[in-house]
Amino acid sequence: MPHALIVHAHPEPESFCSAQMREATSALEAQGYTVEVSDLYAMEWRADLNRGDFTHTPPAFFKPQADQLQAVTDQTFAEDVAEEIVKLQRADLLVFSFPMWWFSLPALLKGWVDRVFAMGVAYGGTVGRFETGGLSGRKAILLFTTGSTEDMFGTYARDGDMDVILFHIQHGMFYFVGYQVLAPVVSFSPVRHSEDVRMQQLANVREAFLNLETRTVLTWETGQNLLALPGFRGAR
């Protein structure tokens, strides 16, 4: 039975964004997934990676990645990090559910990545990166709301190209640690819409999560691909 982890970051349980998370959960369960939700605000999750992430005592000069590697070897992650790593590793599908804040993730969710996608777990140490990353063989997807309307996004639109905006998350976080990345599910500016349109947006979320098997898998033309071309030296 496939298992999904939804990491949700919205401070208001009655928000549209939180309703989306519940809709996605129910659609996944309807297909036989077991679903676990890390509701970061409800959990009072700490966003900042610091010395408290470890039960061992980091040296005077704190180098987070070195301590993450040590924590993998000695099993000395703090309880909150260790619990999330277990959840991460048992999930075939990872969903980030959030409102777009400052063209990115809310700080709480970014902090979850800093602390849980640890070196030696998700990448680095004995673990690879990208196709050989620690979460390879699994899928990940973004589920989010915006304040801007759909027409405000685009190559020549004021907010810019959504693929570019999301690159640091979809490529820099998901693909970097090995996930196959599915096309994001976006509800544009629910706050500006009537109840009918908002209901349709929720129905679209349900439809998307009922049909993940056929959802587009994203790819990027990055330097890694170019380096594979004959004669291409690339910039280091």
> Binding of ligand FMN at residue 102 (CB under 6 A)?
yes
> Binding of ligand FMN at residue 111 (CB under 6 A)?
no
> Binding of ligand FMN at residue 96 (CB under 6 A)?
no
Q: List, in sequence order, every beta strand (DSSP E) within the chain.
A: 3-8, 34-39, 93-99, 139-145, 180-181, 185-187
Site for ligand FMN in 191-230 (CB under 6 A): 191
Q: Which of 103, 130, 167, 176 binds ligand FMN (CB under 6 A)?
A: 103
> Is 60 in a helix, a strand, or coil?
coil
Near ligand FMN by CB under 6 A, which window of 13-21, 62-70, 88-96, 173-181? 13-21
> Binding of ligand FMN at residue 34 (CB under 6 A)?
no
Q: How far is CA 50 from CA 54, 58, 64, 67, 72, in A?
A: 8, 10, 7, 10, 16
> Binding of ligand FMN at residue 148 (CB under 6 A)?
yes
26-58 exposure pattern, b = at least 16 Cβ within 10 A, e = fewer: ebbeeeebebebbbbeeeebbeebeeebbeeeb
Which one-letter DSSP state was computed for residue 130?
Answer: G
> Binding of ligand FMN at residue 16 (CB under 6 A)?
yes
Q: Which of 56, 65, 101, 204 binds ligand FMN (CB under 6 A)?
A: 101
Nearer to ligand FMN, 149 or 219 (CB): 149
d(CA 208, CA 30): 13
Nearer to ligand FMN, 66 or 152 (CB): 152
Nearer to ligand FMN, 103 or 167 (CB): 103
Task: Count Cα atoms within 13 angstroms, Cβ side, for 126.
Answer: 4
Determine the residue type at 217: V
> Binding of ligand FMN at residue 41 (CB under 6 A)?
no
Place of tokens 């989306």: 20
Near ligand FMN by CB under 6 A, which window of 96-104, 133-141, 170-178, 225-233? 96-104
DSSP output for 141-189? EEEEE-SS-GGG-STTSTT--HHHHHHHHIIIIIGGGT-EEBPPEEE--
Query: Minimum distance from CB of 177 to ligand FMN (Å)?
Result: 24
Near ligand FMN by CB under 6 A, which window of 65-73, 89-97, 113-121, 144-152? 144-152
| Number of residue whose CB is nearest ligand FMN | 147
> Is 225 in a helix, a strand, or coil?
helix
Near ligand FMN by CB under 6 A, which window of 34-42, 53-61, 100-108, 135-143? 100-108
Q: Which residues bind ligand FMN (CB under 6 A)?
A: 15-17, 99-103, 145-148, 190-191
